[in-house]
Structure 1
Amino acid sequence: MSEFEAELVVDRRESVADGVLSLTLRHPLGEELPAWEPGAHVDLVLGPGLERQYSLCGDPADRSGWRIAVLWEPEGRGGSAHVHERMGRGDKVRVRGPRNHFALRPARRYRFIAGGIGITPIVPMLSAARAAGAEWTLLYGGRTRASMAFLDELALYGDRVTVAPQDETGLLDLGSVLDGLPVGTLVYCCGPGPLLDAVEERCPPDVLHVERFRPKEQQQAGGDVEFEVVLARCDRTLTVAPGVSVLDTVRAAGVDVLYSCTEGTCGTCETDVLEGTPDHRDSVLTDTEREAGETMMICVSRCRGRRLVLDL
């Protein structure tokens, strides 16, 4: 399994809101970058042990560069500080991807809901929905108007976009968007955990698509007990100990696998399950995908029984 990975150059750096920095990344030789679709994100390898995922928020038709936006998080884990303080125009950064677990599915109608920096994957979805002739609206919330990115771009859509800064309008009126959804409507939501939780409580799961920047608290189906994992392609059987992830077990055995966040949010380590029942603990798969049990995120998920066979 392989994917695009290269050193890209920061071609443009601009502030798009208070505390939000937009970067445009290009190939140093001017080559086109891989195609992507709305909802995709890339990994930035900022240093040893410092890898972060950022949604692509530019124009998918423009393969000359990838645009991302990064929120300054003083209490974060160091990724945003590195980008804001140390990455300038002309600097290089290793990038992997793109990867998409938040793809825009065809629909007659869309209701988009974004909170804060959660607007980033939504921006290219709006253009795609308009191009497809779909009916759509966006409800966009933030702490203050000044903290909300891309307002100038969103203003071009007129009254399809409702901008609701919390200091002006209070909490988002989710009922105005989610109550009485017409048949054929899909809901796409990205933002802080409390917003996503509130939307999940009000929205039928079969129409809802969310992307989380932080892991969702999981109700674990099974205990954290020892089990076997069979690597079908390697013809090896390993023991996964309590408190040790499948990912760490596989890597300790010398098997090279792709991974990034190690929190079950980015989807990089998604692996096909050939036999056994996963104990899903990720924040990526839908309920339907979990029930199917065809793949799992090996950085956090475990086994409901005593044995898993993986396509590794």
Structure 2
Amino acid sequence: MTISVSHLKKYYQVHKKEPGFMGSIKSLVSRKYESVKAVDDISFDIAAGELVGFIGPNGAGKTTTLKCLSGLLWPTQGSVSVLGYTPFERKTAFLKQIALVMGQKNQLWWDLPAAETFLLNKEIYEIADDEYKKTRNELVDLLEVEHLLKIQVRKLSLGERMKMELIAALIHSPKVLFLDEPTIGLDVVMQKKMRDFIQEYNELKKSTILLTSHYMEDVRQLARRVIIIDHGKILYDGKLDQLVKKFAKHKVLSVVLETYVPPDKLKEVGELVEYNFPRAVIRVPRNASNVAAAQLLQKFPVDDLNIEEPDIEDIIRDVFTLSSKH
């Protein structure tokens, strides 16, 4: 396996200070600490060439896990292997084969054109001239940024800067790529361009990619497999389409009516989620969807009827809700 994580734990000791001046004085004499379990006993494997979505709410442990995998953090317990290396040993041979891109952090020199950072990274990673030119040209073509290479980074838009950040991170052709919120803050058009690039790059280079994102469209388009994490624990690890079958307890009936029907009548079929005549959306138990559909067709003036799966976002929200109750 390219990435292997076994019983990984990362705990922090956090100082708890009472408010006010007296609280500050007390903390000088006696400090109280509590243990925060950022990552709490998780295990998973990722094969070469896989693109895996790593999703969870804020504070779930996603970024902490990526930092452990890239060697920025030392695990409290457990073992981590990436490309056969132990990440926190930070060996040069390991660092030359990975890249970590964080949507809210940048490595580009602010007052210089991005091309200068590319050259700097070329020297840091000891890339041969021919290989550097080939890789740079490939990335520039894929992202369509040739006209931006000589412009100061601070004069670029957020989306343009993010493209340059990706080139800087990929200039050494890493075998493993950790992407932490790569589309954060981008408009919908730029988000799609970034997703298209990540997909093309994965297919072209056969690189292993672990992607975190709050935008479900990123995960839906890019990842066949997802790992869901919350409160430092893995809730689900498997195919995205199997997630629906495992956690969706209901189906959605989307109905178009020929004539108006009072909402109370439609509520007899199931939970009326939305009603804006002539369209109604009714949620029913998964195992009763066929019966509910037949009831609609027999008792109501139905012009059109579809039985649909709930949105992935709704299913994942339900997963997090169940997790928070335990």
Instruction: Give the TM-score, by structure 2 length.
Output: 0.29
Largest Rg, 1 or 2? 2
Say which structure is richer in strand. Answer: 1
Q: Which has the higher contact order (CA 8 A, sep 6+)?
A: 2
Instruction: Give the TM-score, by structure 1 length.
Output: 0.30
Say which structure is richer in helix. Answer: 2
